[in-house]
Chain A
Amino acid sequence: MTTGTAPSTRQRGTSMSETAPDRFGLPGTPIFDGETSRRGLRMNKLFMSLRTAENRERFLADEAAYCQGFGLTPEQQQAVLDRDWQAMIDLGGSIFYVYKLAMMDGRSMQYLGGVFTGMGEEDFLAAMRAGGRRDG
C-alpha cells in the first residue's frame, strides 16, 4: 500500500480563519466533521432545497434574497453568489450538498475537481482517465 505526498491545503483569505486546523493530519483532504457541519448547516440546507424546480426558479430569480431566507452568513452568501466552490467547502459545505448547486449550473464533478486542484476541468479529466491522481 502506498500513497503519494499530498500538497498542503489551498489557503484562501477570510475563509481560512473559520477552517479547522488540519487536526487529522491529512493535507489537501477536507474532513466534513461535526464542527464543519454545524458551521455549514444553513448553506447545506439551501443546497438541498435546489432539488426541486420551484426552488431553483426562486433561487435564480433573486439569489441574495434566497440566501438570506436560509440564514447564510455574509461570507457564505458571497461564496454562493460568486460560485466560489473552494470557499463553499471552507465555509462548511459538504461536497455532496455543494454539488446540487453545481448541477444546477450544469457543472460536473470533474469541473469541480479542476477547481479544487487548480488544474482546470480538461487536465483533471485527463488525469482521471489516465488512472487518477496519485499525489494530490
Chain B
Amino acid sequence: MADVIWGLATSHVPSIGAAMDRGKTEDPNWKALFDGYAPARAWLAEHRPDVAIVVYNDHANGIDLDFVPTFGLGTAEQYEVADEGFGRRPVPDVVGHPELALHLVQSLVDEEFDLTVFQELHVDHGFTVPLSVWTPDPGDAWPCPVIPLLVNVIQYPQPTAARCYALGRALGRAIRSYPGDLTVGVLGTGGMSHQLAGARAGFINPEFDAWWMEAIHSDPAALAALSREELIRQAGAEGIELIMWLVMRGALDDEITKVHSDYFVPASNTAAGIALFDNRSGQPG
C-alpha cells in the first residue's frame, strides 16, 4: 500500500518563481518570504517521497476555455514545462507516474469523482512554482515523479469547498489502496487572499488568512462549509483558489502534525502562505 507522508500547502504566485529564476531571493522585497520557506525546505529535503501529487490550476497555458474540466488528473509519463509567453521557466520537465495515476483515476471514478484524464499537458507556474517552493535547486530533475491534479478555480461555478475536501478524502483512500509500496507527498496550491481585477483589486484579508491557516490544520470541515460567495467575499475573487488546499488536507489523516507555516504580504498582488504537515502518525520530526 502507498502512504501519504506529508502535505504541503503553498501559494503558487508566478512572481515567486520569477524571483528565484532571476536571483532576487535576497532582495528586500522578497527575503522574508524565502526565509519563511527555509524550515519547510529543510524538513522536506529529509523526507523525500517516492511520488508527489500537485493539486493546482492552469492559467491559460496548458488548457484554454474550450474545455473547463472541474477536476482533472494527468496520467502521462512526462509533462513539459509551459512557455507562458516569454520562454519557459528554467526548471526541469516533470516526470509523471502513470501507474499510480491510472490507479487513482480508477479508484476515484469508482467513488463517483468523474475526473477528466489528461494524457498530454504542459504545466505552468501553478504547478512549477510549488515544486520550486519545495525544491529551490532541482538540478536536472525534480526530487521524484509528480502527478498533476487539476481543479477549475478560474470559471464560476468552481467546485464547492466541500466537494474539494471530499475529493481529497477519496484521494487519500485511493492512495492507500494502491497495491505497490510507495510514499506520497501531496501539495495543495494557490491563495491566500487576493483579487486581481475590479475596484476591489489588491484586496488582502489577513484575519481570514490567519483563520484559514489554523483551520486547515485543526478544523478543515469548517473551511469545507464555506460557500463560493463567502470565499470570494472573504478571500477575494482569486482567493477562492484556496479550495485546492482542502484537496490536500482531505488526503491526510484527521490528526496531523504541523511542521512549519508562514505568511507573507505581498507576493505580487497576493498574500502568500505556506503550511507543511507531517502525516506519519506517531513519528515526530
Chain A residues in contact with chain B, CB under 8 A?
Answer: 1-3, 6-10, 24-34, 37, 41, 44-45, 47-48, 50-52, 89, 94-100, 103-104, 109-110, 112-113, 116-118, 124, 127-129, 131-134, 136
Q: Mark B242-279, 1 if CB is under 8 A from A, else 0.
A: 00000000000000000000000110110100000000
Question: Which B residues are CB-close (under 8 A) to A33?
Answer: 155-157
Distance in angstroms between the alpha carbons of A48 and B211 in the assembled complex: 36
Of chain A, the residue at the smallest CB distance from B229 is: A24
Most buried by A among B83, B197, B201, B232: B197
Distance in angstroms between the alpha carbons of A134 and B66 in the assembled complex: 35
Distance in angstroms between the alpha carbons of A89 and B195 in the assembled complex: 13
Closest CB-CB distance, A83 to chain B, in whole Å? 15
Partner of A1, one of B66, B157, B200, B208: B208
Distance in angstroms between the alpha carbons of A27 and B195 in the assembled complex: 12
Question: Which B residues are CB-close (under 8 A) to A128?
Answer: 202, 204, 265-266, 268-269
Q: Mark B226-249, 1 if CB is under 8 A from A, else 0.
A: 000100111011100000000000
Closest CB-CB distance, B106 to chain A, in whole Å? 30
B60 touches A26 (CB 8 A): no
B142 contacts chain A at the CB level, 8 A cutoff: no
B65 touches A117 (CB 8 A): no
A6 touches B64 (CB 8 A): no
Closest CB-CB distance, B284 to chain A, in whole Å? 32
Given A32-B237, A124-B202, A128-B269, list of 5 further CB < 8 A pairs? A30-B198, A32-B155, A98-B197, A109-B196, A133-B201
Of chain A, the residue at the smallest CB distance from B202 is: A133
B211 touches A25 (CB 8 A): no
Distance in angstroms between the alpha carbons of A117 and B167 in the assembled complex: 37
B80 contacts chain A at the CB level, 8 A cutoff: no
A48 touches B64 (CB 8 A): yes
B127 contacts chain A at the CB level, 8 A cutoff: no
B204 touches A113 (CB 8 A): no
Partner of B200, one of A28, A52, A100: A28
Query: What are 16 A-B interface contacts by the 8 Å CB criterion?
Result: A1-B211, A2-B205, A6-B200, A26-B237, A27-B200, A29-B237, A33-B156, A45-B66, A47-B60, A95-B197, A97-B60, A116-B197, A124-B202, A129-B266, A133-B203, A136-B198
B36 contacts chain A at the CB level, 8 A cutoff: no
Of chain B, the residue at the smallest CB distance from A55 is: B85
Distance in angstroms between the alpha carbons of A37 and B195 in the assembled complex: 18
Query: Which 5 A-B pairs rank lowest in CB-CB distance, beginning with the nearest?
Result: A132-B204, A28-B199, A136-B200, A28-B200, A133-B202
Question: Which A residues are CB-close (under 8 A) to B86?
Answer: 103
**Known: A2-B207, A32-B154. Is A131-B197 also a contact (CB below 8 A)?**
no
Q: Mark B53-85, 1 if CB is under 8 A from A, else 0.
A: 000000111001110100000000000000111
Distance in angstroms between the alpha carbons of A28 and B162 in the assembled complex: 26
B59 touches A96 (CB 8 A): yes
A44 touches B65 (CB 8 A): yes
Question: Which B residues are CB-close (under 8 A) to A134?
Answer: 203-205
Question: Which B residues are CB-close (under 8 A) to A124?
Answer: 201-202
Distance in angstroms between the alpha carbons of A34 and B68 in the assembled complex: 10
Of chain B, the residue at the smallest CB distance from A88 is: B197
